[in-house]
Amino acid sequence: MTATIRMLAYRVTADLTDEYVRIGESTARLSMKKFVKAIVSIFGGEYLRYPTSNDIARLLEVEQRRGFLGMLDSIDCMHWKWKNCPSAWKCMYAGHVNKPTIILEVVASYDLWIWHAFFGLPGSHNDINVLDRSSVFAAVAEGRAPPCNYTINGHEYTMRYYLADGIYPSWAILVKTIPAPHGKRKKHFAACQESARKDVERAFGVLQARFVIVRGPARYFQPKVLKDIIYTCIILHNMIIEDERHLYLGADQFNYEVNDDTPFEPISRDNIPDFMEFIAHHYRIRDRGTHSQLQADLIEHLWNMHGRA
């Protein structure tokens, strides 16, 4: 345990643990693999889950006070360098940094809790490719997500949304900033959106600061081991967030101990969504008209809320 925690938190190599805890290199590596596998197996269901109905209500209330009605979290991707990538795979995993990397997609909230993690795609992909392959919007497309009804500037919306940067597509479930805003209203909206979207960037920074193994190059050869390591770091990160939640915005207004509801209704043979309904939800998620209308309503709402001052 001591050797494994030191390797995760300080990126200590396996052979250096012999000088501190008198454990050989091979034993330290084996301990690391068994530790991360056990953490994901035991605690993954609780700390890598989707938000429950209580969580969604809390997140929506906090974001409403920040001016973003119906906003749940922020989404973005991070590249983790792979030092020991096999030579036959280097071209496939080399991306914009000209070195092999593996992509991690996360969804993080205002308190830096990571609600969604998708890891394993080669670094040659971009955020759009990762989004097409991840399951971040699967519950919404399958009709299993809890309902979310809100009104902005007289327009009614029934689907929550996430904040994203400019590379993401113009979908109804994503709200992006304005690259070159003109006018006070659009400039104010861009500033508010970019400020709120920094939650996911802060989550990346805190995760890398707490577990330096994620910040430095990965030294293992098997992608499966790297996946267990990154998920273990996220689980431990969420454990720390849970323990320190009383320090975050509005945490004193919620009872975190009462959380017995399930994240989403599980899929069974009796409640498999109809294929046409699935296609309809899919088109609702990718509706560009709703995206433009929602962005325009948020511009006016944020300006009326505190932009005039």
Tens of pLDDT, residue by residue over 108-128, are: 999 999 999 999 999 999 999
Task: Count up the domains in the chain and report the number.
Answer: 2
Are 39 and 61 members of one domain? no
| Strand 155-157 relative to strand 150-152, pairing | antiparallel
Instruction: Say if residues 93 and 122 touch (Cβ distance below 8 Å).
Output: yes
Same domain, 275 and 143: yes
267 and 150, same domain (yes or no): yes
Q: 56 and 167 share a domain?
A: yes
Co-location of 63 and 31 in the same domain: no
Phi, psi values for residue 157, rounded to 5°? -130, 145
pLDDT digits (tens, 9 = 90+) for 189-220: 999 999 999 999 999 999 999 999 999 888 88
- Minimal CA–CA distance to 74: which of 94, 54, 59, 95? 59
The boundaries of the domain holding residue 299 are: 50-307
Percent of the chain exceeding pLDDT 70 equals 91
pLDDT-based confidence at residue 50 (cuts at 50, 70, 90)? confident
CB of 149 closer than 8 Å to CB of 158: yes
Same domain, 76 and 33: no
Give yes or no for residue 66 having a pLDDT over 50.
yes
Residues 303 and 193 in one domain: yes
pLDDT at 23 over 90: no
Q: How many CB atoms lie within 10 A of CB 86?
A: 13
The pLDDT of residue 267 is: 46
Do 275 and 198 lie in one domain? The reply is yes
One domain, residues 198 and 294: yes
Identify any residues that bridge with 152 across adjacent strands, giving them in sequence order: 155
Query: What's residue 262's pLDDT?
Result: 52
Place of tokens 């992509």: 103
1 and 81 co-located in one domain: no
82 and 18 assigned to the same domain: no
Q: What is the mean pLDDT of the chain?
A: 87
9 and 158, same domain (yes or no): no
Q: State how far the Cα of 172 lies from the Cα of 286, in Å rounded to an integer.
A: 6
Which tens digit of pLDDT belongs to each residue from 123-159? 999 999 999 999 999 888 888 888 788 899 889 998 8
